[in-house]
Amino acid sequence: MTDQRDVDDLKEKYYHSMAAALIGEGDLEEAVVYLQKAIDIRDTPYVWHSLAGVLRETGDMAGAAGAMSRAIKLAPCTPEYYHEQGLILRQLGRPDLAGEQECKAVALDRNYERIDMITRAAEIVERAFRGKDVPEDVVKAAVRNEELALILEKIGSGGQRIGNVLKKPSCPVGSCPAYCCHFTGKLLRHGVTIGPWKLDALLRHFTEKGIEEKDVLETFPVEQAKYAESLFPPQDIIKRNGVRSVVFPRQKDLPLGSEPARDLPRGRDYRTLMWIDTSAKPCAFLESGKCSIYDVGGEPSLDSCSSFLCMTGFVFVVLGHLGFTDEAMMAGKTMRELNSIAIDALIILAQGVYGNEEVAASERAVLDGLRSAIEEDRSGNTALLDKEIARYRDLEQGHRALKSMHLEKARQRITGLFT
């Protein structure tokens, strides 16, 4: 690949990221302009897909259908494109054509029969593990009573602990060939860059191990590409030989190939991971499915890699945290089986526990109890406050027992998926 190709890659990425930012700000008209600019550089299915989404939001359904057709033409094995084309065609008043597109999505992936259930389940479980479930008016309430203050502190730190489950997680799916460390195009294009501390540690590591830096690292001078500076974290832009640059891992030569690519997991939104296909090549640091520089310098992986989890990885991190699965259960299962188990387990967790109405109602009752105690603390009525704290404790104990019962039922059903 020439340097010009790197420059074009970054320009396309810049236009696409700008469009995403503009969509976030609600400036859809300008977003369309940027997506068109990205397409002018390269005709990629994912940009056409983004364009179809924006046009759909603006109400230009015919334009959206046209853009989605182009995405389908460029990536005909992507089920979500057919599914979304079905939604557009329904809005256009063509349920007959929509049905055809939906059938194509299901033919490529049976899970499209229950896609709404899957995406909803992913949202529910993800929300539960973000640790934000306790409203701020409760967790941050200033109270005078020591017992109540301790209760609020415990709830706050419990929420943070849950939030840490998904922070820089280590994926427990041992049978995965680490699809997420395979890339079509250079890692530079995907924003995988190395910060100064990790780079220092890596250079020392290379000296110790006799590794030639040029075999594993590549440097890109950011000045060569207009806008490049806005695409990388500022701390990852470092001076190398006096030139402001980003450093990123090279790739190995052997592409993933069609056989392993059949078992690719999906993203957390159940979308295809567009940067991995049969031609994707592994990062230079991938050794036997593991990151060989994971703990070099005492930092887990690279910042840009460490937060990624596909849907399968995400579900198994959650299941591992709950103590429902371990290495022994997963051993011997193929990636295809684990991808499928992950989706079923996700739905069981969402419907049986984290989105379960009975559990949610009991959680609301606990919160109301806590709010009543906070109110009594403010009113200064200690007798009533003691009563409310005792009531809260009863409610909380009941809620814990109920949730444990539902978790146990979910555990049994999920264990059954492995047999």
Q: Is 286 in the site for ligand SF4 (CB under 6 A)?
A: yes
DSSP string computed for 122-168: HHHHHHHTTT--S-HHHHT---S-HHHHHHHHHHHHHHHHHHHTTSS
- 193 lies in the binding site for ligand SF4 (CB under 6 A): no
Of 98, 166, 192, 385, which lies in the binding site for ligand SF4, with binding defined by CB under 6 A?
A: 192
Of all residues in this chain, which one has the CB nearest to ligand SF4 in the complex? 313
95: number of Cβ within 10 Å: 12
**Contacting ligand SF4 (CB under 6 A), which of 71, 173, 319, 374?**
173
Burial 407-418 (b: 16+ CB within 10 A, else e): beebbebbeebb
User: Which position among 178, 274, 384, 417 is part of the footprint of ligand SF4 (CB under 6 A)?
Assistant: 178
- Give the residue among 307, 347, 356 at the shortest CA–CA distance from 111: 347
**Residue from the set 19, 61, 166, 176 that interacts with ligand SF4 by CB under 6 A:** 176
d(CA 126, CA 273): 18
* Of 5-13, 143-151, 309-317, 345-353: span binding ligand SF4 (CB under 6 A): 309-317
Please work out, in degrees rounded to the nearest 5, the angle formed at the alpha carbon of residue 342 by the alpha carbons of 165 and 360: 60
The Cα–Cα gap between 82 and 30 comes to: 26
Residue selected from 34, 82, 112, 179 as contacting ligand SF4 according to rule CB under 6 A:
179
Work out whether 265 is an interface residue with ligand SF4 (CB under 6 A).
yes
Give me the 98-127 binding string for ligand SF4, x by CB under 6 A, dash otherwise.
------------------------------
Number of H helices, E strands in the chain: 18, 7
- Given its phi and psi angles, is residue 168 left (phi above 0), alpha (psi -120 to 50 degrees) or beta? left
Please say which residue, 99 or 257, places its beta carbon nearer to ligand SF4. Answer: 257
Piece in contact with ligand SF4 (CB under 6 A), picked from 18-26, 50-58, 305-313, 353-361? 305-313
Q: Least distance in Å: CB of 24 to ligand SF4? A: 25
Residue 359: its H or E element: helix 357-379
Q: Is 341 in the site for ligand SF4 (CB under 6 A)?
A: no
Choose the stretch contacting ligand SF4; rule: CB under 6 A; options: 196-204, 210-218, 223-231, 282-290. Answer: 282-290
| 272 near ligand SF4 (CB under 6 A) | no
Q: Which long-range contacts (CB under 8 A, 24 or more apart) does 285-288 make?
A: 285/181, 285/216, 285/249, 286/178, 286/181, 286/182, 286/252
Binding site for ligand SF4 (CB under 6 A): 171, 173, 176, 178-181, 192, 249, 265, 283, 285-286, 291, 293, 301-302, 305, 309-310, 312-313
